[in-house]
Amino acid sequence: MRIYGKASWALVGVLGATLALAAADSVKSGVELAGFANSVRAQDDFFAHVNGGWLAKNEIPADRARWGSFDELNEKARAEVRAILEAPTLAGAKVDADQAKLKTFYASFMDEAAVEAAGIKPLAAEFAHIAAIKTKAQVTGEFGHLDRISVSSPVDFGIHQDNKDSTRYIVDISQAGLGMPDRDYYLSDDARLAGIRGKYQTYIASMLTLAGESNAADKAAQIVALEKKIAEAQWTKVENRDPLKTYNLMPVAKLSALAPEMDWTAFLTQAGVASKIKDLTVSQPSYLQKLGAIVAATPVEQWQNYFKWHVLNHAAPYLPKAYVDTRFAFYGTALREVPQNEPRWKRAVSVTEGAMGEALGRQYVARNFSPQAKARAEALVANLLAAFRSSIDTLDWMSPETKREAQAKLALFTPKIGYPKKWRDYSKLVVKPGDLYGNVERAEAFEAERNIAKLGKPIDRDEWGMTPQTVNAYYNPELNEIVFPAAILQPPFFSADADDAVNYGGIGAVIGHEISHGFDDQGAQFDGKGNLRDWWTAADHEKFAQKTKALVAQYSGYEVVKGYFGNGELTLGENIADNSGLAVAYKAYQISLSGKPALVLDGLTGDQRFYAGFTQIWRGKARDSESIRLNKIDPHSPAQFRVRGTLANQDGFFAAYGIKPGDGMYTAPETRVHIW
């Protein structure tokens, strides 16, 4: 089951107040000079100049596919969460219900002896359910059942706001059901991807053998062949970026006309929503049509093998070590080149967070996020929103009519900082000692029922799609909200002790990035209330398309790994947000100076520190296979190109570092893309 998550206005005058609290003689620059590589000229490769020292000193840990600023903070947050989960309970101390459940859940993962003793017996009920399937109607019903228990099936369903009626929740069904990251892994002639395809088939056979299946090799070949047919029917990642093409509202009855070979009543009943809906949206109608033909042509026995495989694959992290190791050998080593699995405590933290993330978040915030940090972050967000408001009025490519609509949307933005207003209620979740798989199963059922219960109820505008301990941020067009969890509000993104320049270049650019998503090629199709509505003039659409076309070409020209180039169409929205967010963050920083010159700190001017602050948040490296995997599925460009590609379009950067023709970082003024 797919879950979507996915204030008073500050006056422009607020921008005149600097955010630094320390006296001028004690201000820190916030630029981490130890990470620099001064052997590389800033003018030739700014990413290597700012991050080269860090890259030379830091190796990718053996249990990671990539390593960078986000990963460092994620490890820090995970260690802090571990401390919460492993903290001893003092004699006589009061322990609330959530805290007790968290500790029990974590302990059940760490109890490896109990997991080994249970073996594969926890899957017996699901395997029996699959063995009882005799008809094609039951096959379709199993799609819905598996969705409800978070196991991959060819049809996925999610519950979120109706994109054309933001006052209600709706069911949306879409393509799914592959065991590899993307359709290209099944269809591409690329030698590397073909090799992974072969290893995937071997992995399936190994897992089925472990589970006691006979003829495992033949069944594995059939499963891969079936998944290839599903992949052939699916839309590409680029096609799925279009919110209008993927919005197809229809009455439930019309599903039978779209794919008559499938029993949609059985699907919706098993998914738990049949009695709750009269209509729904379909993301990829042509996929369902083709899937209907696949269902009709595939024997029930082959579907049973496919279902058993996906149940086993989903459960493997919670089964004995042989299953865990076999799964990691494919998804970790073969697919991503990661030499060793994470230690058990890290995996235990991740699974516990997945089950009760906000209960952990409540304790994390109490320990790690001060009211002062929240207030300063709120001030930064207000400053960036005000800078955006000012920027809209100065755009030379946007008409007055569209500017009015853009200002109206911006006025309705909802910032969420640090943590939710209200915490999730886990009172109905049952957690039992020594029952890892059962605890995971009940947690998944709890989350599915929590979301199904939204149908027919008012929109919960206070809900968060990330936990406070998540090192990330997001914009949700359905709620027109920008969300910044507590864990990202720390160095190198944000420092209460640092000069304003690096904070505007760091977290300021992140804030600007998320605001920009409201006006990228996807977000701009939603209005301020979260409805898909065209509020642009035709001429503005054309001007915007020309600018974005140039960005597609720019980022498609970057070689991610030798022989693999970026996909500028897939990454367009994120590239727009990077470029726009940094440009507006720079404007906000300039206004914050109130006409006064910035301090020179560590030998760097304010503008130089601003761009260094932006660049150091993207320090990082990745294994080649991971870079290729992300290049297929991730809408974000690789870190080095988020820096190089964005700076190539920033006039302020060229002035700050004196970039001239012949320098490696130089791009001619007429080729620079300016959106905001």
In tens, the pLDDT along 318-339 reads 999 999 999 999 999 999 999 9
Phi, psi of 442 (to 5 degrees): -70, -35
Average pLDDT over residues 532-545: 94
Task: Using DSSP, state whether 561 is helix, strand or coil.
Answer: strand
Q: How far apart are CA 423 and CA 155, in angstroms?
A: 31
Supply the DSSP string of 340-378, one letter for each residue. Answer: SPPPHHHHHHHHHHHHHHHHHHHHHHHHH--HHHHHHHH
Asked if residue 246 lies in contact with residue 240, where contact means CB atoms within 8 angstroms, the answer is yes
Average pLDDT over residues 23-52: 90
Average pLDDT over residues 492-513: 94
pLDDT score, position 7? 23
Q: Is residue 312 part of a domain?
A: yes
Q: Which two tokens stand for residue 372?
A: 């002062």
Q: How far is CA 153 from CA 117, 148, 179, 304, 431, in A?
A: 29, 10, 10, 12, 27
Residues 407 and 278 in one domain: no
676: confidence class by pLDDT, cuts 50, 70, 90: confident
State yes or no: pLDDT of 1 exceeds 90: no
Q: What is the pTM of this model?
A: 0.93
Q: How far apart are CA 581 and CA 675, in angstroms?
A: 10
Residues 323 and 385 in one domain: no
- The distance of Cα 596 from the centroid of its chain, to the nearest Å, equals 39
- The distance of Cα 285 from the centroid of its chain, to the nearest Å, equals 25
Q: How far is CA 40 from CA 4, 134, 141, in A?
A: 43, 67, 60
Across 4-18, 421-435, 499-513, 600-614, least confident range: 4-18
Q: Which two tokens stand for residue 578?
A: 């990077």
Q: What is the CATH number of the domain that holds 539?
A: 3.40.390.10
Residues 229 and 276 in one domain: yes
Residues 256 and 388 in one domain: no
Domain that holds residue 606: 371-413+480-676
- Residue 651's CB is within 10 A of a number of other CB atoms, namely 12
Taking only the tens place, the pLDDT of each residue in 75-126 is: 999 999 999 999 987 666 677 899 999 999 999 999 999 999 999 999 999 9
Rg (CA), the chain: 26
580: confidence class by pLDDT, cuts 50, 70, 90: very high
Q: How far apart are CA 254 and CA 289, in angstroms?
A: 12
State yes or no: pLDDT of 193 exceeds 90: yes
State yes or no: pLDDT of 235 exceeds 50: yes
Q: Is residue 9 part of a domain?
A: no
Task: Using DSSP, state whether 20 is helix, strand or coil.
Answer: coil
Phi, psi of 659 (to 5 degrees): -70, 130
Domain boundary among the residues 339, 363, 396 is at 339
State yes or no: pLDDT of 25 exceeds 80: no
Q: How far apart are CA 380 and CA 496, in angstroms?
A: 12
Q: How far is CA 170 from CA 252, 405, 458, 582, in A?
A: 12, 26, 11, 35
Mean predicted lDDT score pLDDT of the chain: 94
Q: Is residue 187 part of a domain?
A: yes
pLDDT score, position 92? 65
Q: Which two tokens stand for residue 658?
A: 């004196």
Which residues on neighbouring strands pair with residue 171, listed in sequence order? 159
Taking only the tens place, the pLDDT of each residue in 142-154 is: 999 999 999 999 9
Q: Is residue 260 part of a domain?
A: yes
Pick from 32, 288, 79: nearest CA to 177: 288
245: confidence class by pLDDT, cuts 50, 70, 90: very high
Q: Where is 256: in which H helix or E strand? A: helix 255-258
Average pLDDT over residues 249-266: 97
Asked if residue 168 lies in contact with residue 459, where contact means CB atoms within 8 angstroms, the answer is yes
Q: Is residue 310 part of a domain?
A: yes
Pick from 196, 171, 199: nearest CA to 182: 196
Q: Name every residue whose Cβ is closer than 8 Å to that of residue 470 and which is 6 or more positions away in sequence.
A: 77, 485, 487, 488
Average pLDDT over residues 281-301: 98
Q: Is residue 173 part of a domain?
A: yes
Q: Is residue 208 part of a domain?
A: yes
pLDDT score, position 8? 19
Q: How far apart are CA 147 and CA 552, in angstroms?
A: 35
Asked if residue 63 lies in contact with residue 338, where contact means CB atoms within 8 angstroms, the answer is yes
Phi, psi of 364 (to 5 degrees): -60, -45
Taking only the tens place, the pLDDT of each residue in 606-617 is: 999 999 999 999
Domain count, the chain: 2
Q: What is the CATH number of the domain that holds 255?
A: 1.10.1380.10
Domain boundary among the residues 294, 324, 339 is at 339
Pick from 319, 328, 350: nearest CA to 63: 328
Asked if residue 237 lies in contact with residue 185, where contact means CB atoms within 8 angstroms, the answer is no
State yes or no: pLDDT of 475 exceeds 90: yes
Residues 151 and 253 in one domain: yes
Q: How far apart are CA 492 and CA 509, in angstroms?
A: 12
Residues 150 and 197 in one domain: yes
pLDDT score, position 26? 66
Q: What is the CB-side half-sphere exposure of residue 402 using CA atoms within 13 A?
A: 22
Residues 375 and 329 in one domain: no
Residues 255 and 398 in one domain: no
Q: Is residue 585 part of a domain?
A: yes
Average pLDDT over residues 235-239: 97
In single-letter form, the type of residue at position 200 comes to Y
Higher pLDDT: 495 or 127? It is: 127
Phi, psi of 2 (to 5 degrees): -95, 130
Residues 264 and 318 in one domain: yes
366-399 in b/e form (b: 16+ CB < 10 A) is eebbeeebbebbbebbbbbbbbbbebbeebeebe
Residues 385 and 289 in one domain: no
- Residue 31's CB is within 10 A of a number of other CB atoms, namely 27
141: confidence class by pLDDT, cuts 50, 70, 90: very high
Higher pLDDT: 253 or 676? It is: 253
Average pLDDT over residues 25-35: 87
State yes or no: pLDDT of 13 exceeds 70: no
Residues 407 and 285 in one domain: no
Q: How far apart are CA 98 and CA 177, in angstroms?
A: 34
State yes or no: pLDDT of 621 exceeds 70: yes
Length of the chain as a residue count: 676
Residues 393 and 515 in one domain: yes
